[in-house]
Amino acid sequence: MPLLALPFPALDPVIVELGPFAIRWYALAYIAGIVLGWLYARAVIKSRSAWGGPAPLTAADFDDFVLWVTLGVILGGRTGYVLFYNLPHFIAHPIEIPQLWKGGMSFHGGFIGCVVAVVLFARSRGIPVLSLGDLTCAVGPIGLFLGRIANFINGELWGRPSDVPWAMVFPGGGPLPRHPSQLYEAGLEGLVLFAALAILIRAGALRRPGLIIGAFALGYGVARCIAELFREPDVQLGFLWGGLTMGMLLSIPMILAGLALICVALRRRPAPAA
């Protein structure tokens, strides 16, 4: 282990307190992710070149969809955490299930909730499900990046002990320096995945419905599996089958589904450019 480790920039997870109310970095990350994702989605909708003509939905449609997908992410994320990561605890303490302010969200559960929101909203408006899903996945890395930065600020979901020069001693993580795995995830799931999807969109991927969904699922699954090699497993779960973590086990189906969607989308004839 290194004699010296980078100091953890201990920041108060609460930005400001107003009487009984508190604004936390994690909540701010969610809000900022929603707002920035909404703005980016509106810009993509207005780009005729990206769709090969008029987009199959309007900016007003997406404005209405924001509430649906927000509820899907929150409800799905919490349900996923309860079922995948700490079910025995919540069976014994069911009153804690709605206590979101205590932490505990699952990306994979949030993704499932997002899928449900996309399907229900698209059918209610007569919008192509895959096209709305493509647009939603295109903005997803924005929220992932901000969420992982909030994880880092909160000093949670730290990495495994390491002797790399940038290792940090996290509050609550014991005396050993650890990988800042939250930043690895912010880079892979956020910056790299966003850039990859943006390049695909510029190359005409939205003209093949389902291609961006597949690329997102594949890219996120691979990024998460890589990050899990450096991230400390959840203490209540540890390593599971074959030495894999829960994050890996949940990401493998995403990789397979992403590959299948990409293959199907590439076989479709792309929409003609306007």
The answer to whether residue 165 is domain-embedded is: yes
Q: Which domain holds residue 134?
A: 14-267
Total tally of structural domains belonging to the chain: 1
The answer to whether residue 1 is domain-embedded is: no
CA distance 190 to 174: 28
Give residue 4's pLDDT.
57
The answer to whether residue 273 is domain-embedded is: no
The answer to whether residue 3 is domain-embedded is: no
Torsional sign, CA 60, 62, 65, 67? negative
The answer to whether residue 111 is domain-embedded is: yes
The answer to whether residue 272 is domain-embedded is: no
Residue from 4, 26, 1, 6 nearest 15 by CA: 26
Per-residue pLDDT of the chain (274 residues; tens, 9 = 90+): 454 567 777 777 778 877 777 778 888 998 999 999 999 999 999 999 999 999 999 999 999 999 999 999 999 999 999 999 989 999 999 999 998 877 789 999 999 999 999 999 999 999 999 999 999 999 999 999 999 999 998 888 899 999 999 999 998 888 899 999 999 999 999 999 999 999 999 999 999 999 999 999 999 999 999 999 999 998 888 888 888 999 999 999 999 999 999 999 999 877 665 5
**Number of Cβ within a 10 Å radius of residue 269:** 7
**Could you give phi then psi for residue 237, rounded to 5 degrees?**
-115, -45
The answer to whether residue 216 is domain-embedded is: yes
| DSSP line for 72-95 | HHHHHHHHHHHHHH-HHHHHH-GG
CA distance 138 to 270: 18
The answer to whether residue 2 is domain-embedded is: no
Label residue 105 left, alpha or beta by phi (over 0 means left) and psi (-120 to 50 means alpha): beta
